[in-house]
Amino acid sequence: MQTNSRRVVVTGYGMITPIGKNSGETFENARNGVSGIDYISSFETGGLPCRIGGQVSDSWLGGFQSKRLQGIEKCSSRGLKLMMAAASEAVEMARLGSIEDRGTIGVSLGYHGENPSVEDLVRLYRHAGGDHWDIDGLTRDSAYSFFNFFRRKPDVATSILQILFDCKGPGFSVVSACAAGAQAIGEALGTIRSGKAEVVIAGGCESNVNFMGFVGFVLIRALAEKYSSPDKASRPFDRKRNGFVMSEGAGALILEALGHAEARGATILGEVLGYGSSADAFRITDIHPKGDGAFFAMQKALADAGLPAAAIEYINAHGTSTIQNDQIETLAIKRVLGERANLVPVSSNKSMIGHTIAAGGAIEAGLTLMGMNGSTLLPTINYEFPDPKCVLDYVPNIARSLEHGIAISNSFGFGGQNACLCLGKFRK
């Protein structure tokens, strides 16, 4: 079994979020502190304790123009369509079309598949009520698409991305809840380092702003229920935070072996220096009270990068705006940084974008790289009332100019899976 450590750089990025149809627009709006959170229009929210979310405009989503791809469209979930938009931007930026050996290009995607609709549950009820399953009847029902079965499968999205972008290298689907996007990038890093691929399209996507995706989080009381206006609801690290805001989106990075990128004259936009993952192994519904899992993930990412904690110049926090997460993430960051904790800026993109679940880690990694290249720290908006238990420099409300070259980006998942990426400005 051969492994060799190689430097892995970023040669393209793309994203689609409630505040932008591409990375440039998203970054610009985030720099200006624009919130993408509004009342939900995609379904009727009457009677719900939370009626807000981050939605991507349908007009930003491309279709399947080519006749060859129209069959694929039937299997495509909204999450995949978001990912296609993000990946197309990244692939174009990296000029992946010029690579001849397509077997060296892989795809690593964090995604959980599409939720069933309530209408489809009714149809299932009609054909599968009681103990009898009339599968032929169900698929004959013109209102029920058997493609529903495949839209729910995460690896269908991965496979379609491989077809769309003609990637014949390794392909894998990561399903670790809110850590999935960052884990997908971390796994892609390992794949390139070990020589199993030269290039990987890595990232995550999610679309949970629908009935069944939403009601689940309503039931576990994880969403923000108290807000004066939608744009004020996501307020990470603020004392009046009371839950996260569900959102949708996708983010993609093109990871590439440095030698490969240089040989083809690709523009290098940054470097993935390290990756760490851990499990809280504590309780299924609670974070470890001392932040052990988050702490270990950050430590491992730094160790993987061969850097001391003193090298960190910025932290893109998981920062969900839930009481528990933000307090414990703060604690874990303080454990990692020690006396420097108050000197290192920390901010949460979720204050503007909301929580895009599997997409979060990928979108935030992309914004972190853009911030480094533009010497800009994106703000944490809605930071109005300091919480005595959250006492770091959260870059409150207004973006800040600061040259910085090394950052970490945190992603922590339901159930206790944690991931941390160490990212750097590219230096020869």
Partner 1 sequence: MKTAGLPLFPVASDQVAITGLGAVCSLGNSLPEIVSSFLAGKSGAAEITGFDASGFGCLAAPVKNLAPFKTDISSQLALTMGKHLALLMSSVGEALRSASIGQGMFAPGDCAFFAGMGMVDYHVEDLLPAVVKSLHPDAGIDYDSFFLRGSQEIYPLWPLGMLNNVAFCQASIHFGLAGENAVFCPHADSGVRAVYEAACALREGRAKMALAGGIGEEITPLGLARAKLKNLLVPPPGNVAPPPFLGEAGAMLVLEPLSTAVERGAHIYARISGFGFSCERSEDGRFASTQAISSAMRAALSDAGISPEDIDLVMLATSHENELEAVLNLFDTGALPPVIVAASAAVGETLAAGPALSCALALSMPDRARLPEIFLAPSRKGASRDFTIGRLLLNGISCEGGCGAMIFEGANGP
Query: Helix, strand or coil for residue 422?
Result: strand
Active site includes 132?
no
User: What is the DSSP secondary-structure string of 14-68?
Assistant: EEEBTTBSSHHHHHHHHHTT---EEE--SS--TT-S--EEE---GGG-----SGG
The pattern of x and - marking residues 107 through 146 that bind partner 1 according to CB under 8 A reads x----x---x-xx-xx-xx--xx-xxxxxxxxx------x
Region near partner 1 per CB under 8 A, out of 32-40, 184-192, 246-254, 338-346: 184-192
Q: What are phi and psi of 239, to 5 degrees?
A: -65, -25
Min dist CB 372 to partner 1, Å, is 26
Q: What are phi and psi of 287, to 5 degrees?
A: -80, 150
Looking at the Cβ atoms of 48 and 402, the one nearer to partner 1 is 48
Looking at the Cβ atoms of 43 and 60, the one nearer to partner 1 is 43
User: Using CB under 8 A, which of 38, 73, 242, 282 touches partner 1?
Assistant: 282
Min dist CB 402 to partner 1, Å, is 32
Residue ranges in 141-177 assigned as alpha helix (H) = 148-151, 154-164
Count the site residues for partner 1 by CB under 8 A: 88
Min dist CB 186 to partner 1, Å, is 8
For residues 145 and 320, give the distance between their C-alpha atoms in angstroms, rounded to a whole number: 35
For the chain, the C-alpha Rg in angstroms (whole number) is 21
Residues numbered 248 to 277 that lie near partner 1 (CB under 8 A) are 276-277
Tell me the pairing of strands 314-316 and 346-347.
Answer: parallel
User: Using CB under 8 A, which of 36, 204, 251, 416 touches partner 1?
Assistant: 416
Looking at the Cβ atoms of 80 and 344, the one nearer to partner 1 is 80
The pattern of x and - marking residues 36 through 75 that bind partner 1 according to CB under 8 A reads -------xxxxxx----------------------x----
**Does residue 150 come out as left (phi exceeding 0), alpha (psi in the -120 to 50 range) or beta?**
alpha
Taking alpha carbons only, the member of 116, 106, 193, 188 closest to residue 147 is 116
Active site includes 178?
yes
Residues numbered 186 to 205 that lie near partner 1 (CB under 8 A) are 186-187, 190, 194, 196
Active site includes 318?
yes
Residues numbered 14 to 43 that lie near partner 1 (CB under 8 A) are 43
Residues numbered 300 to 319 that lie near partner 1 (CB under 8 A) are 300, 304
Residue with tokens 């809110």: 178
Q: Just list the catalytic residues.
A: 178, 318, 355
